């Protein structure tokens, strides 16, 4: 059983932080539009945002998964795993049970693509072989929480605002460059605070975007604990994923490849995520993984044939 008082407190803080970060990004974008185009710039900026949203290509989840050489897992191959997934999806009130895809990689990882009705969760061979049932349940619940919360859509909107900010910043700096002769002739006055904002706005909104990503990860952890009733399972999985993702340099020099300060990371520090999850412990209960686990059914029977590789998108798989 969860500490519901602590859960509601953390959930409220996560929602508040997400709302404040989104409001800040929108306000910064509106201010840049006002500086570059004046009052008419706000309506033009809104129109541009709508056009970009409509013209953004809708990428099929299967196209993304093909890049990672993933293949669908049929329920007959992993019946117990699909039973667990279906129960978590039912608790999350999703309109459809996500499809599982197998990624032939030793890396301990999972990710999700698609929307609520066409979601696909990719799980690596390393994850299926190295995690216990309760840990796999926690990871699947975390990914389903991202689907339920619409995090892909939220982060897509944040990315759109970030790209618009970079465009406005570049456009404003080009205008300033073209007006340099007038500046030297003292025929125009420049608000240097506005110039500084134009220069640093892309960096500021990027930090806000990173903060939003971290907050959504915390919230997905929180909802996963509620869906499974077992916060320790996800905490244990996160610890194993952290160890499994380390290379030789990380072992020799811990934390070497992690951005510092910590708020420059897209994901929160694993230690902080585990601490927040363990705060939710209260009374032992029968979690979801115990309700659907069936002895004697292996999760997977095939060994990955290659180690982790670097993908052009910046992800290891």
List the catalytic residues: 143
Residue 289 has φ and ψ, to the nearest 5°, of -65, -30
**DSSP assignment, residue 257?**
T
Query: Which residues, including other chains, have CB under 8 Å from residue 196's CB and lie 6 or more apart?
Result: none
Do 179 and 188 touch, CB atoms closer than 8 A? Answer: yes
User: What's the token pair of residue 165?
Assistant: 């900010």
- CA 234 to CA 141: how far, in whole Å? 9
Which element (helix H / strand E) includes 121? strand 120-124
- CA 228 to CA 186: how far, in whole Å? 67
Torsion of CA 129, 135, 140, 142, to 10 degrees: -140
| Helical packing angle, 231-244 and 192-228, nearest 10° | 120
Residue 167 neighbours by CB distance under 10 Å = 16
Q: Using alpha carbons only, what angle is made at residue 287 by residues 285 and 291, rounded to the nearest 5 degrees?
A: 120
Q: The dihedral of CA 237, 158, 14, 12: what is its sign?
A: negative
Torsion of CA 259, 113, 270, 105, to 10 degrees: -90
- CA 251 to CA 159: how far, in whole Å? 33
């Amino acid at each position: 059983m969860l500490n519901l008082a602590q859960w509601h407190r953390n959930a409220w803080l996560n929602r508040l932080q997400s709302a404040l970060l989104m409001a800040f990004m929108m306000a910064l974008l509106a201010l840049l539009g006002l500086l570059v185009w004046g009052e008419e710039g706000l309506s033009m900026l809104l129109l541009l945002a709508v056009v970009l949203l409509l013209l953004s290509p809708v990428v099929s989840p299967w196209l993304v998964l093909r890049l990672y050489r993933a293949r669908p897992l049929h329920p007959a191959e992993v019946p117990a795993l699909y039973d667990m997934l279906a129960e978590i999806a039912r608790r999350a009130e999703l309109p459809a049970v996500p499809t599982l895809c197998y990624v032939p990689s030793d890396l301990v990882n999972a990710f999700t693509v698609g929307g609520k009705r066409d979601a696909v969760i990719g799980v690596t061979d390393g994850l299926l072989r190295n995690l216990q049932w309760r840990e796999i349940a926690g990871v699947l619940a975390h990914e389903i929480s991202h689907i339920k919360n619409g995090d892909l859509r939220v982060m897509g909107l944040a990315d759109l605002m970030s790209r618009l900010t970079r465009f406005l910043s570049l456009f404003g700096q080009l205008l300033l460059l073209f007006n340099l002769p007038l500046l030297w002739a003292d025929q125009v006055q420049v608000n240097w605070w506005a110039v500084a904002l134009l220069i640093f706005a892309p960096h500021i909104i990027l930090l806000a975007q990173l903060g939003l990503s971290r907050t959504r990860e915390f919230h997905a952890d929180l909802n996963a604990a509620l869906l499974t009733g077992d916060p320790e399972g996800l905490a244990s999985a996160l610890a194993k994923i952290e160890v499994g993702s380390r290379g030789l340099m990380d072992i020799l020099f811990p934390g070497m490849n992690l951005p510092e300060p910590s708020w420059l990371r897209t994901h929160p520090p694993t230690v902080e995520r585990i601490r927040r999850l363990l705060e939710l412990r209260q009374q032992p209960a029968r979690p979801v993984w115990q309700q659907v686990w069936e002895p004697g059914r292996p999760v997977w029977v095939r060994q990955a044939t290659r180690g982790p590789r670097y993908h052009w998108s910046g992800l290891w798989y």
